[in-house]
Amino acid sequence: MNNVNGDLNQNPPIIIGVMGMTGSGKSTFIKSITNDPNIIIGGSLQSCTREIVPSCIQIDGLTVQLVDTPGFDDTDRDDVDILEDIAAWLGPQAEYQVKLAGLIYLHRITEPRMGGNAKRNLSMMQSLVGDDNMQNVVLVTSRWEELPNKAEGERRQKELKDPNGFWGEMIKHKARIARHNGTPESALGIVRGIMTVAPVFLQMQQELRQGMSVKDTSAGKDLLAHLQRQISQLNAKLQYMENQIRQSSEENEQLRQRYEEFSQQVKAKEQTQAKMMQGGMDRIMSRVADFEKRCARKSRCILM
């Protein structure tokens, strides 16, 4: 296996992952700093970044690798694919003793509420990182300029930060908070803030180093539990519909169609669950190879 980070003995890069929901502005954030033409910004409702893309830049004489990631709410890839991609990115780094300087988690302050996908993204990030490494995470709110009323944003941020709020537990474990105003200067300031923190092996890196398969890592277990919850909820809906169909005297085509849709969804989730359980080391190795190819194509660093 090639070393994905060049000559680590001389100049190990400062690696910073950028995570968040689809459309939260991860690619825009990275591109505003690196101007990397390989980073594609989305313009539609579809998820845009499908692969983990590293973007290298020199900041204050240090090599920094900003890593773009797909969100766990991708519109056309299942969560297992995404987690395996992340494992293929983090696993080899750990093998080469490469620690991560941190993770930037982007959140649009314009979001009126935390939906199921937002909660899942956050929870996956937490289990990837681990409570002990939360000091290497920066929770970044963005799009403040789009709020008709700034007080509304302040209220949402207060709610997120509350000890019982969605960010409360992470903040308790020393995650930091920052605001991004969309400018390259603001993005660079957030990155510089992470560059000073001692790098760590994220929880998932530690678990993979111990030889765990993806399904046994904390993030893997989190994902499996989530899939199981979704399957149980869908099965409960199916049960309810079956009763309705049985009790109704007339043929209800609409209800039958919905029943069929839910049945298909259960099958798809069960397939995803089975894929995860199979482990698929071959799949991970081919993802590692793909990631290395992408890194090799991008060996040149942009100087700042």
Q: Which residues bind ligand GTP (CB under 6 A)?
A: 20, 22-28, 41-43, 47-49, 70-71, 142-143, 146, 182
User: Closer to ligand GTP at the Cβ: 183 or 286?
Assistant: 183
Structure tokens at 172: 């308790």
| Residue of 138, 65, 145, 144 whose CA lies nearest to 105 | 138
Find the shortest distance in angstroms from Cβ 47 to Mg ion. 8
Which residue has the closest beta carbon to Mg ion?
A: 49
Q: How many CA atoms lie within 13 A of 201 on its CB side?
A: 17
What does 28 interact with, of Mg ion, ligand GTP, none (CB < 5 to 8 A by kind)? ligand GTP
Find the shortest distance in angstroms from Cβ 151 to ligand GTP. 19
User: Closer to ligand GTP at the Cβ: 81 or 270?
Assistant: 81
Residues binding Mg ion (CB under 5 A): 26-27, 48-49
Find the shortest distance in angstroms from Cβ 301 to ligand GTP. 21
What does 25 interact with, of ligand GTP, Mg ion, none (CB < 5 to 8 A by kind)? ligand GTP
Q: Roughly what angle, to the nearest 10 degrees, separates helices 253-278 and 218-247?
A: 160
What does 55 interact with, of Mg ion, ligand GTP, none (CB < 5 to 8 A by kind)? none
- Distance separating alpha carbons of residues 206 and 227, to the nearest angstrom: 24
Which residue has the closest beta carbon to ligand GTP?
A: 25
Cβ–Cβ under 8 Å, residues 141 and 96: no
Find the shortest distance in angstroms from Cβ 82 to Mg ion. 12
Q: Which stretches within the chain are classed as H helix?
A: 26-34, 79-95, 116-129, 150-161, 168-172, 184-195, 203-209, 218-247, 253-278, 281-296
What does 231 interact with, of ligand GTP, Mg ion, none (CB < 5 to 8 A by kind)? none
- Taking residue 265's Cβ as centre, other Cβ atoms within 10 Å add up to 15
